[in-house]
Structure 1
Amino acid sequence: MRISILLHAYLMVTAGLVFAFLGVASLAAAEPPFNASRLEVTTLATDLKQPMELAIANDGRIFYIEIQGALKVFDPHTNQTTLVGEVEVTTAQENGLIGLALDPNFDRNGWVYLQYSPPNFEGQHVSRFTLVDGKLDNASEKRLLKYEEQRKDCCHHAGSLEFGPDGCLYIGTGDNTNPFGDSQGYAPIDEREGRFFFDAQATAANTNDHNGKVLRIRPTPEGTAEIPAGNLFPPDSNQGKPEIYVMGCRNPWRISIDQKTGYLYWGDVGPDAGGESPRGPRGYDEVNQARQAGNFGWPYFIANNLPYHDVDLATGKVGDKFDPAAPINESVNNTGMRELPPANEAFIFYPAANSDTFPELGSGGRTACAGPVYYYDAANPSQTKFPPHFDRTLFIYEWSRHWIMAVHLTEDSQIASIEPFLPNHRFVRPVDMQFGPDGALYLLEYGETWGVNDDAKLVRIDYVRGNRAPVAVAATENNTGRQPLPVKLSSVGSFDKDGDTLTYQWRAFRAGEEQTQPVILSQDANPEVVFQEPGVFHVELKVTDPTGATAIASVPVIVGNARPSVTFISPQPGDFFDSPAQIHYQLQVDDQEDGTSDFETADATGAAEIDLEAPRRTALNLTIGSGSIPRDGKQDVNDSDPVGLQLMKKSDCFNCHAVDSVRVGPPFLKVAEKYRGQDHALDASIKRVREGSTGIWGKVPMLPHSQHSLDEIQEMVSWVYSLEPNSAVRVFDGLVGDIKLTPEEVDKAGYLQLEANYRDLGAGEIPSLVGTSQIYLRKRKVEAEAADEIGGPQTLGGHKASGGNFLGAINHQHFARFNQIPLDQVGAITFRVTSAGAGGQIEVHLDAIDGPIIATAQVNVNGSWEDFYDVTEKIAPQMGRHDIFVVFKNPQNQGGLMNLDSVTFQPPAYLTDIKNSSE
């Protein structure tokens, strides 16, 4: 009996393996060819505060940390985020809660590992905690490792935890070295007295220091740490810290372990030098692969072992190149071995400029991150798992460039190809990502700025199989006016994700009567219909695919009242404002029902027959903006906008609403003030946007927006709720007036936005409508990176640039264009420049890149890529407005000419005033 049972079990297991194999093969064979459009991004959670790392449990829960000390969990079954616990940290010098990992047996033991910066110890702790009833038990802390750092100077703490398949815990640590000052963006090897914190030889190249490394330990069940075999320095060898797995790292900010091969990957954030110099190579970021313990070169080498030179910063004397085959650490700050292991080349490397070796990575800022590696599992029943196309693929990502790349690997884990991942989707600073047990990719997006961001979020990326519902997009032309009103309806932008042919149906409801039988307007895709009767109508587009899947979009039509128009008589768009500034404005209102205003009478309402004692309905909003004028001054979708705002610009939201003024519906600021902080208000608002509502803010109903997913509407409503009153907004009444700005206001302003609004009197039962006109006034100083067109140069970041960015990587014949400058208000142009390269000339051309030259500025080499200085050139008097082309020239030395920080269009009397003041 025992033998037969065992034999039966053996046959069952064998058959199961055979069936599993056949199932794997058939599932893989059933996969259709990869279709990138089937990758879909879903927002899971918003309102994250500086998220750093995530870890995914086997049950699908997503744990993540925030730098100020919070551990949170998102439950995909309830779609709720819960605070699990907090640890006390200091956030000085970029410290905080910086690393997270779940134990390989987390389902059974509830152990969580945190890397954090305690306020009472100058360094980092790596500790194990236990979750008890879903909460972090701070008393359960078991400290596995602590290592010292300095907190006097900036920076580089890295911070990243990851378990390998062998149960070892890997720990990323930064070089803890100030990269600025006399290092000039090259190797920070300052050995002068008192400059210890500027010498990475004391940390990354020091075998007796934990910083600038990836450490490896094996946690024990007792809450201690063992040293696994195979680290760089054997225990008790006195060669170096036994926890070191790889050394020679600058800022290994994100690490990942290939769970099949055990290979370590990490992104190493590189130095800032913008070009080659006698000191060595320009800055590169790296993605590294370590198959075994080793030295990866910093601060002596970068990229594919490009060597720096030894530099005596006391004298400025440049010495010999460092040797990657036999690097020597002779720093007075070194407490470890003098002779270091040979340096390994980077797996992937790229500068701020375009890369010849890895052109797929583009150009721009640099903050490299690495991992994870995906393996396709045909036996995984998930219908949203990534397809075989991504089998054996390393995903790398860029915090500064907002992209993700799929690095397809060979069987030997070499690079087969690099493919942009979702290239038309802008990830808002990806900061960590992992694959879940469902084979979908989970991603933390940090948000637009270095601080706390409203657009920080947790997202999931699925590969969606099967039929997908179509997308409906509805738009109108001439949707407000007196009857009979011809309205053009457009379905342009509607599409089927699977390429199927769609059918269309347009139908209309009278507002407040949506439950009645609708009027079928047309079955055409883009019809023109005529509304004969006055009323407020809800027009709905329904698109259907051959399987019966549908999508609906809605637009409003208001018949019986024409929208008024508002025109700026003065100032004109693009005019300059100066300090001290007094801006005289004159508006004209035209309305079919109310009449035409006469701005010379400063009529309060804009119509002569209307009671002048009535409340004013003409208003001018002044907003003092930072930065530069939005390109083209339009409500264009900008990749840097929060996702919710991007979705709203693509939808019909701004047809009926403005941020801070009344249109058809209430200002978004009023909505935010009314509902923000109320329990369940967000859910109620999402429901109203999705399904429509009537009577909450007035006669005109909120139309349903079923064309948007709940995730999209949540993004949109969350953006509205995030709005705060802007103290820089001032309101002026009437059609004529003066705006006075203080010198302080002018100094802090990047631009002025003037928005004029007029609310008409309505027409009987038809509600009032608001006409709006918006113009921008420019500051004379324009940041170079805000040019309307940039031909060749790259926008780079710099601590000494006035806007935090500048145009760099400038070569011969590169250019920047500034649209419609009022040259009749300009007498000279000042360029803020610097050059440690070839220098050259800046030519100012009129209206075309080869148009008449009205000024030429000489840019001399000053030996620095960041110490900007001014060059001013007079221009001959010009009439009216012109496009200005700034063209960079140096035909003898055509590469690496200069950096341009800003362009200032000086007033006509500028040079005369300078001359008189000097006399």
Structure 2
Amino acid sequence: MQPAKYRQAISKEAPDSSRFSYQALASGLNEPMGMAILPNLDVVVIERKGGVKYFNNSTQELAQIAQFNVFSGIEDGLLGVAVDPAFKKNNWIYFYYAVAGDRNINHLVRFELKNQKLIQTSKKILLEVPTQRTYCCHSAGYITFGPDGLLYLSIGDNTNAEEIEGHNPIDERPGRQLSDDQGTTANSNDLRGKILRIKPEANGTYSIPEGNLFPKDGSLGKPEIFAMGLRNPFRVSVDAKTQYVYWGDVGPDSEVKASEGKLSYDEINQARQPGFFGYPYFLGANEVFPDYDFATKKEGPGKDPRRPINDSPNNTGVKELPPAQPAFIWYGKGPSAKWPLLGKGGASAMAGPVYYSDLYLNAPYKLPAYYNGKLFIYDWIRRWIFAVTMDAAGNYVSMEPFLPQLKVVAPIDMQIAPDGAIYLLAYGTNWFAHNTDSGIIRVEYAEGNRKPVAAIKANNTIGAAPFTVVLSASGSKDFDAGSKLSYEWKIGNKSLYGKDARYTFTKAGVYKVVLTVSDEQGGKGIATMPVKVGNSPPVVVIATKANRSFYWDNTVLDYQVKVTDPEDGTINPAKIKLAFDYLPFGKDLASLLSADNDGNIQHTATVKLYNSQDCKSCHTLETKSVGPALKEISKKYKNQAGATAMLARKIISGGIGNWGTYPMPPHANLAEKEAQEIAGYILSLAEKPEKLPLSNKIILSEHLGKGTEGAYVLHASYTDKGANGIEPLTTTSQLVLRNPLIQFEDYQEGNVNVVIGTLKTQYVTYIANITDGKFARFNGIDLNQIKSIRLRVREHGAGGKIELRQNTKDGPLLGAVEIAAGKATDTNTDWQEIQLPVTGKNIAGVQDLYFVFRNGQAKESLFHLDWMYFQK
């Protein structure tokens, strides 16, 4: 079938991103693997460990409707789900899963789904696939249908990815058949490493359609096979017009040199007809793996892609395979010269649908014609989605990011619903985990009137009963100017109206607050927020008589940490985490206060660097994910000589084999020093910091002679026991003391200009264009014990007064100083230091300070300001 006529009318202008709206329909799924969207927009979601969840579109509720008894070791479990194209008539739904028990088999089964229930007596086993469960990995298991009603099932190669010695898995040594892909994916008599195409029959069997890769009689291979030579064809789609088949194939980790980096490409494949797609002999544009002999450790010439021969003793099928088909798109772990937009790092390529406007003519949320004929691809690790443009023949033309503003955490499925909306399934942050950031996301496109964007703000969402929550929709918006919006809040059966609402929960439980924002044209935006009642967060207080903003060398910091929790009652001091350290770097207080570092605050900057990489996709702090926990690594190498340098090399170059079958991608973008800092942070996790007393006095002596950089941080946290069905809650408190010298150009808000002046040997940055009524605001400063502020001033202008005011421009006056008029001529020398006395009352405690500049008689600039120094 020629696709030309389906790709002719394409708009050249990409749609405005504001025309897309997003709604999280459900969250907190336990390893979601796939979804099936029903004609009424209900959604069936499967979880790897066997759970089947049902999202009711009318009630917006998620419920479990079934639990399969599955083998969920390695990567197996409940892997695939799809509804029959004639679901409205037959109610058929299909599942593919690893059957629990002693037999190593997977089943493709069919049930009837009626009234949100799987009818167990309707179960039909269509297909049984023998597997091995000794080694990991590659299960695949995706189910989809073509426009002709044929069912496509992807199956992974199911071989051992370990001990491949930097090559492809073609180990022909006796006893190593489970490490030879020539016995599975390249074997025409094996269903693994394939995409199957069958026709389900009404009686629960299937027939072989015309046009598969091998004859129906099975004389040359399994007649179910449509495509072979696949490693882990994780997600599959069928073009509704051309019937071309697309899939993402997750690549190996080899050390074989390739045209771009190493021959470890992930692939997006396009099958215009049945065929052999190369693995384990070829990758990408049929780049050839050498023929590696695992017994002699010698390489020989690889296979000929025009006439590949499978002469492995583990092959039970034909020896001469069909000519190898090249990949459609391929990319490795490093930057791609051919497809630079795809980025770098770890990868898991996936193929989504090809979109056609005329299939959704009456759909309210259909995409614009701009996307006509485009293929959507996505990556589970890199977390992007791209729209791929093809020419009339289906050849690659270009690609562009799709919805880059929508951050989907590990997208694992992508489908288009009958009403034109896009559904995305997010797996969540950690591998093999019940992630709170997993869930179903619905994306709608508005061609005319745009739906309002609903947003909920709450003063609090967790507390003990009775619990009052103040709600606000002030963050909601409408991209269509002049829209008049109305607001409805639903909490259970209770409805509240207005932009703001207040509600008191009297009983413990987990509640869902639903905000619906409507415009005059009938557009509705919906946002939800959970509220947990029954456990109040602990209160952690760091009390001190000292100043809470600044340190002065060799002064004493006294502190006392107090924790209270109504549900826990008496607090065990041993459960309070407390850490104190001096940070010799920078003055980025935002990074200090937001650092996710388990109290290991001396590595705050390094943690920020670590979090900027893709490391968290595979590693968590405490528990094993796809890779080992960071604390496991630390314990293993903490006493090993040269461990920091060794781990740094691994971080930069990547590796495999030390912790299992999964490769660690390289991070060639990191400098050696950065990699060593990350390695040092990881190794530090095995150290048990000295237990600090909850009440103490500390001499601040670390900073001596180290300029204006650095900060002291006292960090306290406590996790309660949980109560009334609500999980344990953690509260953290931090006391951050910085240098008392602050540059004026570092203000948080103001209407003055920052100027860079040239000195003889360096630059000086200061604020200028200071006229009457202008100001500079500095947030969160404690004036306790502060008697004056020393200012570095340049008398250049009409002169005037500097007022120090509390919390607002017109707040209480805390002090003032006059600056004389002058005309400075030398940026190097024309500066002087003057004192601004702090004379106000009730000045202790953290507050915002406003420096307000006054001279109502002058129209020109008043003076220049460089820095301030807070003095005791």
Please indicate the TM-score interval, normalised by the length of the shorter structure. 0.5 to 0.7
Distance 1:279 1:233 in 2: 34
Alignment-derived partner of residue 220 in structure 2: 239
Contact 1:376–1:386 (Cα < 8 Å) also in 2: yes
Distance 2:605 2:389 in 1: 38
How far 1:247 moved relative to its partner? 0.3
Label 1:424 to 1:33 Cα distance change in 2 as closer, same or farther (>3 A): closer
Match of 2:178 among 185, 190, 197: 197
Label 1:379 to 1:166 Cα distance change in 2 as closer, same or farther (>3 A): closer
Alignment-derived partner of residue 526 in structure 1: none
Distance 2:623 2:503 in 1: 44
Contact 2:261–2:332 (Cα < 8 Å) also in 1: no
Identity %: 37
Contact 1:384–1:440 (Cα < 8 Å) also in 2: yes
Contact 2:514–2:529 (Cα < 8 Å) also in 1: no
What is the SS of the residue equivalent to 1:100?
Answer: strand
Matches within 5 A, 1:776-787: 779=600, 786=607
Alignment-derived partner of residue 548 in structure 1: 484
Contact 1:113–1:127 (Cα < 8 Å) also in 2: yes
Structure 2: which amino acid aligns with 1:156? H
Match of 2:449 among 463, 466, 472: 466
Match of 1:788 among 594, 597, 609: 609
Label 1:387 to 1:337 Cα distance change in 2 as closer, same or farther (>3 A): same
Matches within 5 A, 1:428-443: 428-443=409-424
Structure 2: which amino acid aligns with 1:310? D
Distance 1:82 1:906 in 2: 43
Distance 1:550 1:138 in 2: 46
Contact 2:335–2:343 (Cα < 8 Å) also in 1: yes
Distance 1:183 1:340 in 2: 26
Alignment-derived partner of residue 60 in structure 1: 41
Match of 2:126 among 141, 144, 155: 144
Alignment-derived partner of residue 284 in structure 2: 303
Label 1:689 to 1:832 Cα distance change in 2 as closer, same or farther (>3 A): farther
Distance 2:301 2:10 in 1: 58
Contact 2:94–2:108 (Cα < 8 Å) also in 1: yes
What is the SS of the residue equivalent to 1:37?
Answer: helix
Contact 1:115–1:126 (Cα < 8 Å) also in 2: yes
How far 1:194 moved relative to its partner? 2.2
Distance 1:906 1:129 in 2: 52
Label 1:165 to 1:279 Cα distance change in 2 as closer, same or farther (>3 A): closer
Structure 2: unaligned runs, 5 residues or longer: 1-5, 460-471, 508-512, 519-523, 545-557, 563-575, 582-591, 628-640, 660-668, 688-872
Contact 1:784–1:806 (Cα < 8 Å) also in 2: no
Matches within 5 A, 1:349-368: 349-368=330-349
Structure 1: which amino acid aligns with 2:445? Y
Alignment-derived partner of residue 43 in structure 1: 24
Alignment-derived partner of residue 219 in structure 1: 200
After superposition, give the CA deviation of every residue in 1:324-351 in whole Å (9 maximum; x if it has no partner).
1121212221111221111111111111
Distance 1:63 1:274 in 2: 41
Contact 1:58–1:107 (Cα < 8 Å) also in 2: yes
How far 1:409 moved relative to its partner? 2.7
TM-score by length of structure 1 reads 0.56
What is the SS of the residue equivalent to 1:93?
Answer: coil
Matches within 5 A, 1:528-547: 546-547=482-483
Structure 1: which amino acid aligns with 2:644? T
Match of 1:902 among 679, 684, 694: 679
Distance 2:282 2:342 in 1: 21
Structure 2: which amino acid aligns with 1:692? R
How far 1:127 moved relative to its partner? 1.6
How far 1:208 moved relative to its partner? 1.0
Distance 2:237 2:604 in 1: 39
How far 1:805 moved relative to its partner? 11
Contact 1:254–1:369 (Cα < 8 Å) also in 2: yes
Contact 1:385–1:439 (Cα < 8 Å) also in 2: yes
Matches within 5 A, 1:470-509: 497-498=478-479, 500=481
Distance 2:399 2:614 in 1: 22
Alignment-derived partner of residue 832 in structure 1: 646
How far 1:290 moved relative to its partner? 0.7
Structure 2: which amino acid aligns with 1:52? M
Count of aligned positions = 596
How far 1:682 moved relative to its partner? 7.5
Match of 2:502 among 643, 668, 692: 692
Alignment-derived partner of residue 353 in structure 2: 372
Match of 2:151 among 141, 164, 169: 169
Contact 1:806–1:901 (Cα < 8 Å) also in 2: no
Distance 2:617 2:353 in 1: 28
Contact 1:150–1:176 (Cα < 8 Å) also in 2: yes
What is the SS of the residue equivalent to 1:453?
Answer: coil
Alignment-derived partner of residue 598 in structure 1: none
Label 1:901 to 1:888 Cα distance change in 2 as closer, same or farther (>3 A): closer
After superposition, give the CA deviation of every residue in 1:210-268 in whole Å (9 maximum; x if it has no partner).
10000111111221111111111102252111111100000011111112211111111
Contact 1:286–1:348 (Cα < 8 Å) also in 2: yes
Alignment-derived partner of residue 813 in structure 1: none
How far 1:314 moved relative to its partner? 2.0
Distance 2:456 2:60 in 1: 28
Structure 2: which amino acid aligns with 1:285? D
Match of 2:310 among 329, 336, 349: 329
Label 1:196 to 1:683 Cα distance change in 2 as closer, same or farther (>3 A): farther
Distance 1:886 1:317 in 2: 33
Label 1:298 to 1:899 Cα distance change in 2 as closer, same or farther (>3 A): farther
Distance 1:142 1:237 in 2: 24
Structure 1: unaligned runs, 5 residues or longer: 1-23, 477-490, 501-545, 554-679, 698-703, 740-750, 757-771, 808-826, 840-862, 869-884, 890-896, 911-919
After superposition, give the CA deviation of every residue in 1:530-552 in whole Å (9 maximum; x if it has no partner).
xxxxxxxxxxxxxxxx3434789
How far 1:716 moved relative to its partner? 5.2
Alignment-derived partner of residue 381 in structure 1: 362
Distance 2:306 2:269 in 1: 18
How far 1:833 moved relative to its partner? 3.7
Distance 2:536 2:80 in 1: 33
Alignment-derived partner of residue 401 in structure 1: 382
Alignment-derived partner of residue 849 in structure 2: none
Match of 2:435 among 436, 453, 458: 453
Contact 1:130–1:141 (Cα < 8 Å) also in 2: yes
After superposition, give the CA deviation of every residue in 1:311-330 in whole Å (9 maximum; x if it has no partner).
11122111112221121212
Distance 1:42 1:834 in 2: 41
Contact 1:192–1:313 (Cα < 8 Å) also in 2: yes
Structure 2: which amino acid aligns with 1:171? L
Distance 2:353 2:429 in 1: 23
Label 1:60 to 1:426 Cα distance change in 2 as closer, same or farther (>3 A): same
Contact 1:689–1:713 (Cα < 8 Å) also in 2: no
Matches within 5 A, 1:440-839: 440-450=421-431, 451-464=433-446, 465-469=448-452, 497-498=478-479, 500=481, 546-549=482-485, 691-693=501-503, 714-715=528-529, 717=531, 736=559, 779=600, 786=607, 788=609, 830-833=644-647
How far 1:390 moved relative to its partner? 1.3
TM-score by length of structure 2 reads 0.59
Distance 1:299 1:433 in 2: 28
Alignment-derived partner of residue 559 in structure 1: none
Distance 2:303 2:675 in 1: 28
What is the SS of the residue equivalent to 2:88?
Answer: helix
Label 1:797 to 1:195 Cα distance change in 2 as closer, same or farther (>3 A): farther
Alignment-derived partner of residue 282 in structure 1: 263
Match of 1:135 among 103, 117, 122: 117
Alignment-derived partner of residue 744 in structure 1: none
Contact 2:381–2:617 (Cα < 8 Å) also in 1: no
How far 1:152 moved relative to its partner? 0.9
Label 1:687 to 1:866 Cα distance change in 2 as closer, same or farther (>3 A): farther
Match of 1:248 among 229, 237, 257: 229
What is the SS of the residue equivalent to 2:528?
Answer: helix
After superposition, give the CA deviation of every residue in 1:496-523 in whole Å (9 maximum; x if it has no partner).
65374xxxxxxxxxxxxxxxxxxxxxxx
Structure 2: which amino acid aligns with 1:272? D
What is the SS of the residue equivalent to 2:241?
Answer: coil
Match of 2:57 among 72, 76, 100: 76
Distance 2:111 2:442 in 1: 27
Contact 1:369–1:399 (Cα < 8 Å) also in 2: yes
Contact 1:371–1:434 (Cα < 8 Å) also in 2: yes
Alignment-derived partner of residue 811 in structure 2: none
Distance 1:188 1:42 in 2: 43
